[in-house]
Amino acid sequence: MSLDFGPAVALSCRECGARYPLGPSFACPECFGPLEAAYDFGTVTRADIESGPANIWRYRSLLPVPADVASKPNMNPGWTKLVKAGNLGRALGIKSLHVKDDSGNPTHSFKDRVVAMAVEAARNFGFHTLSCSSTGNLAGAVTAAAARAGLDACVFIPANLEKPKIAMARVFGGKLIGIDGTYDDVNRFCSELIGDPLGDKWGFTNINLRPYYAEGSKTLAYEIAEQLGWRLPEQIIIPIASGSQLTKIDKGFKELVTLGLVEDTPYKIFGAQAAGCSPVSTAYKAGRDVVQPVKPDTIAKSLAIGNPADGPYVLDIARRTGGGVEDVTDPEIVAAIKLLAATEGIFAETAGGVTVGVLKKLLEDGRLDPEAETVVLNTGDGLKTLDVIADEAEPSAVIRPSLDAFRATV
């Protein structure tokens, strides 16, 4: 089989550094550490990137994809808005604030980015079925991308997910299987399925395709830097589910510096969790290097991973950059969703409520510099989590159709 992963040349273990040929592998045979794509980038210029399409494929020379990737059937996500959030900034007392709003992706979450990478890997390996374990957004992104790419899809979710996310995953076709348990139970089941004949020729986006899939999150870093005028933000707040998104944004920033595409300026990375599922925040506050698993209990179901695979790496990055990890309660999440909507016209799902809630908390505690250029991520659309704002599902008033009635109400 001839493989074409563009500039990616090997899989490298993040623990021991051992290298392996590109393949559908995700754990190092030597030390069981996670594998990730390693590259030989060559020369990449700003002009090369800027001449590309207005989606993630403008960065194809930095990703594990073939050079002709833009010509293949894919969802073509990315190049979402970086919103200058002056109203929210004034409400919170921060001078220069931006919201990276990834709700504008094809299935309305950042997961379209990572799934686009997984689709190309699945094609390379001759897989016929795309699958995943999901807390919701990934399931919809996988079934949509599979439909577009002409692949079969079978995805697995905790059975108690939000109804809009279930409906979105099903409408694109394929099979949607609910598991009676948490996301961690679902993920364990999928890992077993990979070793069974039933899972032969299946590409599990966040398991056996994970080294390629995860690289899609780097495109958030690339876009933020380019949209800021080819510079790094001074502070950034990123939600934590598995922790992969945060680690890959850091990797993306470092690659831009190494390639000379941006100036090497300091940046602080802050991770954000819901208090009902905050194992990384708990470890950070306790000064520990080990993340102890928890049983999730939060409205932020898209972040409800009790045993985050990249948790220890998140701790390293938060400490290395001078950032941190914080969590907010469910009521704080809802209040933050409403605040972002009322100030910037951005309707975030619960993960966006977590990041904005943590932004507010860090500012109040003096842990964020209100003078520094800051980016906060919104990774999904609030229409997927309408149940958390059920109190808003009524008119402000109901009146007779007359001016007198309206005057009386006003």
pLDDT by 10-residue block (mean), the chain, 410 residues = 91 96 94 96 97 98 97 97 98 98 97 98 96 93 97 94 90 94 92 90 95 98 98 98 97 98 98 98 97 96 95 98 98 98 98 98 98 98 94 91 92
Residue carrying structure tokens 């790496």: 313
Adjacency order of strands within the sheet including 175-179: 175-179, 152-158, 129-133, 202-204
Residue 19 CA to residue 212 CA, distance in Å, equals 15
The CATH number of the domain holding residue 259 is 3.40.50.1100
What is the rounded radius of gyration, in angstroms, for the C-alpha atoms of the chain?
21
Domain for residue 260, yes or no?
yes
- In 75-197, which residue ranges form alpha helices assigned H by DSSP? 86-92, 111-125, 137-149, 163-171, 183-194
Domain for residue 196, yes or no?
no
Question: CA of 268: how far to CAs of 136, 216, 223, 320, 375, in Å?
Answer: 29, 21, 17, 9, 11
Domain for residue 96, yes or no?
yes
Residue 147 CA from chain centroid, whole number: 21
Q: How many CA atoms lie within 13 A of 206 on its CB side?
A: 32
Determine contact, residues 140/196, Cβ cutoff 8 Å. no
Residue 86 CA to residue 97 CA, distance in Å, equals 7
Indicate the pTM of the whole model: 0.95
Domain for residue 170, yes or no?
no
Question: CA of 215: how far to CAs of 22, 60, 232, 234, 284, in Å?
Answer: 14, 11, 19, 22, 25
pLDDT of residue 294: 96
What region does 287 belong to: left with phi over 0, alpha with psi -120 to 50, or beta? left
Residue 329 CA to residue 210 CA, distance in Å, equals 30
- Buried-state track 355-390, b at ≥16 Cβ within 10 A, e below 16: bbbbbbbbbeeeebeeeebbbbbbbbbbebbeebbe
Residue 27 CA to residue 311 CA, distance in Å, equals 16
pLDDT of residue 135: 87
Collapsing DSSP states into helix, strand and coil, what is residue 148? Answer: helix
| DSSP of 240-276 | -SSSHHHHHHHHHHHHHHHTTSS-----EEEEEEETT
Residue carrying structure tokens 């008033």: 397
Task: Rounding to the nearest 10 degrees, give the CA dihedral for residues 343, 348, 354, 360.
Answer: -10
Burial of 65 from C-beta contacts in 10 A (0-12 / 13-18 / 19+): buried
Residue 260 CA to residue 230 CA, distance in Å, equals 10
Residue 207 CA to residue 26 CA, distance in Å, equals 7
Read off the tokens for 253: 């920033």
Domain for residue 312, yes or no?
yes
Domain for residue 397, yes or no?
no
Domain for residue 113, yes or no?
no
- In 173-310, which residue ranges form alpha helices assigned H by DSSP? 183-194, 210-213, 218-227, 244-258, 279-286
Determine contact, residues 256/232, Cβ cutoff 8 Å. yes
pLDDT of residue 1: 59
Q: If you count them, how many residues does the chain have?
A: 410
Domain for residue 366, yes or no?
yes
Q: Which domain holds residue 377?
A: 82-108+216-392
Domain count, the chain: 1
The DSSP secondary-structure symbol of 32 reads -
Beta bridge partners of 130: 153, 203
Please, which contacts does 56-61 make with residues 24 or more away whose CB atoms are closer than 8 Å?
56/113, 56/116, 56/216, 56/219, 59/218, 59/219, 59/222, 60/6, 61/6, 61/7
Residue 44 CA to residue 54 CA, distance in Å, equals 17
Q: How many CA atoms lie within 13 A of 365 on its CB side?
A: 11
**244: nearest Cα among 271, 275, 283:** 271
- Buried-state track 84-116, b at ≥16 Cβ within 10 A, e below 16: ebeebbebbebebbbbbbbbbbbbbbbbbbbbb
